[in-house]
Structure formats: C-alpha cells, structure tokens
Amino acid sequence: MKRLAITLALLVPALVRAQFNNVGTSAANFLKIPIGSRAEAMGGAYSAVVSDPTAMYWNVAGLAHTAANELLFSQNRWIADLSHTFVGAVFRISDYDRLGLHVNYLDIGRMERTTVDEPKGTGATFSAYDFAVGVAYARQLTDVFSVGVQAKYVQQTISVSSASGLAFDVGLQYRSTWNDLRLAAAIQNFGGDLRILGDDLRINVDPHPNYGANPADVPVLLETKKYPLPISFQFGAAITPLRTGSVSLTGAVDVRDTRDFNQQVRAGIELGLMNMVFLRAGSGLFISERVVRSAEDNSSRVEIRASDLRSGQARFSVGGGLAYTIPRSRLGLRFDYAYSFVETLNDVQRFTLSISF
C-alpha cells in the first residue's frame, strides 16, 4: 500500500506537466468554482485540511478521514448573479473505506434569444446550465497515508445544445502526529476534450449568396471545436500548532496550477473555540514566470513574480462556523458562512449546512 501511495505521488505531477504545455481556453470552467464555505473562508487553502464531502472538489483523499456518514449542502450566489449549488454525501463502508457521491450544479439562468435580423430579441428565451455528477472512493492505506479516486460525468448545456464527457480526480493525504501536520497532492479534472453538439448548430443558408438565384434554405451543420477540461494540480500543507481543550489554531497553504490560469498560492487560518465556534480568514497571490533576456550578452533568466489576484478572483475571504453534536447521539450539525471580496466583480457569499450521522 505504501508503494502505491508513493507511485501515485510521483505519477500525478508528471501527468499534469504533460497537460500544461498548451495554456488556453478550457471547457467546463464551472468545475473551478470553489466549493464550501469553510474552504473559501480559509482562502482556498484546503486540500490538506479537508475531511468532509467537499473533498470531492478539493482533494478526494480527504474523504478517508470523515468520522461519520455526512450529508452536505452548499450554495452561493456566484459572480454575475449565477446560482451555484453543491450537494455531497459520504458513507463509511468500513473503518478504512469511504464512498462519496456529489452533484455540482451551476444555473446560468434564462436569456433572451437574439438573431442577426432581431438583435434586440425575438421574444423567445432559452436556458443555460452546467452540472457534474460524481462517485468517489477513498481509503486510509496506513496510519498516515490516504488515497482517493473519483469519476464524474460533466455536461454543459445552452438552449438545446450541449457538451459532455468524463473527468477523473486522484488525491493523496499524509497526516503526521507532530502538530497535526498534513500534506496533500491532488490532480483534478483529468479527461478528454468536450465538443458542443445539438440542434442549435443546424441552420439554413444560401451557399452562394453572391452568385445568381440560389435557395436560401440549404441545411448546414456548423462544426465546433473541442476544448480541454480545466485540469489542475494542487499541493497543500496544514499544521495545527495550538490545540488545547478549548482552543485550536490551524494554518494552511495551497499551491494550485490550472492549465488555463496562472499559478496561485492560497493561505488561510482557522481559530476554533470549544470545538463549536470557528473564525476563519484567507487570501491568495498569483505566481507568474517570464523570460528576461540581457541585451549585453544575449543571456536569459527566468523571473518569478508574485502579484495580486486578478478580476473575478477572491482577493480576501472571511467567515465563520458553528458546530453542534446532539448529546447521547451520533447526530451532528454544522453551519458555515464565507464572504469573499472579489476584484472588480460583485462579492460572493457562501452558505453551507452539513449533517453527520
């Protein structure tokens, strides 16, 4: 089992590097929207911390450390008034094995249909939405290593056209007893390209509008390009240097590299009081590289710079949570909230409710 974990730890970065050669536009970008109020309140530094159903977004290996069966619901009013919902459940199938299920849904809403002849609208409307449905499995290999895998069906729909495909996630977590040190690595959204297909691509045209009298209703099927999934690699670390009977303090940092985005470094902290009240904050930076050439000797060097997050990214997040276990029962309730200050676009609020049983 240890050999398997080490092999995955070496293989995952190699697979990701192979995918990052062509940085460009990706399909299914809703898969990059952060899940869960606790995670986002900590700035997205969560791959080493996670041990709840949101592990199916951050690091599927974290499912192995869920203490009980758990059902989680998270909702946020995403930028541009989009509605984003996540429902996840994890089940203990043995002391070491966990099974997870989730639905990730982005409602883009209804829009008015326009045409070349009627650019202000035809009076008809259409809807657009994205969703993913996943099944995950995680196992605690040893006292310190856990591993998880996930397969998910991904679909994007606009009007009566859609693109769909399969995506896969793999994750690792290492947990030490020294100050509860945790290390994590994960690859997400590894899979084939998506191509949109549907009746909206069928149109009638005049094939030769500049030559004589031709029929204007020749059926044509528009060809669309394939676009890759937003594959990403994430490495994280977390530590809890302070843990007493009433107070705990956790710090975490994540490095996230997505094929169509600059590398990001995320950091966050969580203060726990009586294991019932939690206060959190987090932020992040972009890491960019550029080649600088010297005019004197024609030499070159790689310059690495850190900068603030760009438009559409959460610059800073704060939040809190309440947790309560009903006495003499296995039923636990948890409510978490996060507020993210987003550059240029509207700020984002997240609400998450979970029930353990």
Residue 54 included in any domain: yes
- List, for residues 2-23, the tens digit of each pLDDT value: 444 444 444 444 444 444 445 5
Q: Which has more pLDDT, 23 or 213?
A: 213
Residue 223 included in any domain: no
Residue 284 included in any domain: yes
pLDDT at 74: 97
* β pairing state of 232-243 and 247-258: antiparallel
Residue 260 included in any domain: yes
The helix/strand/coil state of 72 is strand
- List, for residues 263-294, the tens digit of each pLDDT value: 889 999 999 999 999 999 999 886 655 555 65
Q: Are 343 and 315 in contact (CB under 8 A)?
A: yes
Q: Which residues of 288-299 are buried (b: 16+ CB within 10 A; e: fewer)?
A: eeeeeeeeeeee
Residue 268 included in any domain: yes
CA dist 267 and 269 (Å) reads 7
pLDDT at 222: 87
Give kind and range of the element (H or E) at residue 9: helix 2-19
* pLDDT above 80: residue 340: yes
* pLDDT above 80: residue 45: yes
* pLDDT above 80: residue 158: yes
What whole-number percentage of the chain has pLDDT above 90?
Answer: 64
CATH number at residue 289: 2.40.160.40
Per the structure, the complete domain to which residue 75 belongs is given by 2-193+228-356
Domain count, the chain: 1
pLDDT at 193: 95
Residue 216 included in any domain: no
Q: Which residues contact 327 (CB under 8 A, 6 or more apart)?
A: none
pLDDT at 18: 44
Residue 207 included in any domain: no
Residue 27 included in any domain: yes
* pLDDT above 90: residue 207: no
